[in-house]
């Protein structure tokens, strides 16, 4: 019986997905955030997934990224950003990085890797500017830039913030058919010296949906073979 149980357990790499609403205190208001979480049996680290303007947390379940991450040993949480999917809109103005840090703390995410597609760059890149030390790794997919981000590469390349950003390992992803996304990705590559470029041939703006298996393999390989091994070597 023990041998059979051990075999069955070895075939189960993650628990069922959790779909829930998380209450987040933003001081001036309380926000109910829709989340989908995948939990591995043996955890290596945390991953936060942010969606594009036409998509939601459910997208990361549909393309298999949540399962791929948990199979690789990462606890992954995809959220609906404020005003999208099943997350209510904000009633008051809040800086994106403030919203994101509050969400991360409410979910007990400790220095996660961040996967960020398109519009969500307004949140993830703003967060990186203010909290670069709280990011394990960054996987941008043709992200939109917040107004204060581009200045770091032109006006403040030697600032403390720019220096901190340069230490973040990144997998910069874009589709070959997405020319605006490619231009933004090239800027990111110049700003993140520890970046690995990954162009999906024939991919459109949401290139992770064009080639989901290829994308998921690249993400899990990057996190496992570059980020986690790098941490182990430092220790």
d(CA 221, CA 72): 9
Report the number of secondary-structure helices (H) and strands (E) in the chain: 11, 8
Residue 219's nearest CA partner among 67, 94, 93 is 67
d(CA 24, CA 42): 27
Choice among 80, 126, 178, 210 that is catalytic:
178
Q: Which two tokens stand for residue 154?
A: 């032109």
Q: Which two tokens stand for residue 138?
A: 């960054």
Choice among 70, 97, 205, 210 that is catalytic:
205
Residue 204's nearest CA partner among 127, 155, 142, 150 is 142
Q: Is 120 a catalytic residue?
A: no
Q: Which two tokens stand for residue 220?
A: 């899990």
Strand order of the β-sheet with 137-141 is: 18-25, 30-38, 74-79, 45-50, 113-117, 137-141, 169-175, 195-200
Q: Which two tokens stand for residue 96?
A: 């994106």
Choice among 70, 116, 118, 185 that is catalytic:
118
End-to-end Cα spacing for the chain: 39
CA angle 124, 130, 133 (to 5 degrees): 90
Residue 69's nearest CA partner among 38, 41, 99 is 38
Q: Is 51 a catalytic residue?
A: no
Report the catalytic residues.
118, 178, 205
């Amino acid at each position: 019986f023990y041998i059979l149980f051990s075999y069955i357990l070895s075939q189960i790499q993650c628990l069922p997905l959790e779909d829930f609403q998380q209450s987040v205190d933003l001081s001036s208001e309380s926000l109910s955030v829709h989340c989908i979480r995948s939990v591995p049996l043996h955890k290596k680290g945390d991953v936060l997934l942010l969606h594009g303007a036409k998509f939601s947390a459910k997208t990361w379940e549909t393309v298999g990224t949540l399962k791929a991450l948990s199979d690789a040993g990462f606890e992954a949480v995809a959220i609906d950003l404020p005003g999208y999917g099943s997350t209510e809109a904000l009633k008051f103005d809040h800086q994106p990085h403030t919203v994101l840090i509050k969400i991360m703390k409410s979910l007990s995410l400790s220095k996660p890797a961040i996967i960020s597609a398109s519009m969500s760059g307004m949140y993830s890149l703003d967060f990186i500017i203010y909290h670069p030390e709280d990011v394990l790794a960054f996987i941008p997919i043709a992200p939109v830039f917040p107004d204060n981000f581009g200045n770091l590469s032109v006006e403040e390349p030697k600032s403390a913030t720019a220096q901190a950003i340069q230490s973040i390992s990144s997998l910069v992803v874009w589709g070959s058919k997405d020319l605006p996304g490619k231009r933004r990705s090239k800027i990111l590559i110049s700003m993140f010296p520890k970046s690995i470029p990954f162009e999906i041939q024939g991919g459109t703006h949401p290139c992770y949906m064009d080639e989901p298996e290829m994308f998921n393999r690249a993400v899990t390989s990057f996190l496992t073979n570059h980020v986690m091994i790098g941490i182990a070597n430092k220790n």
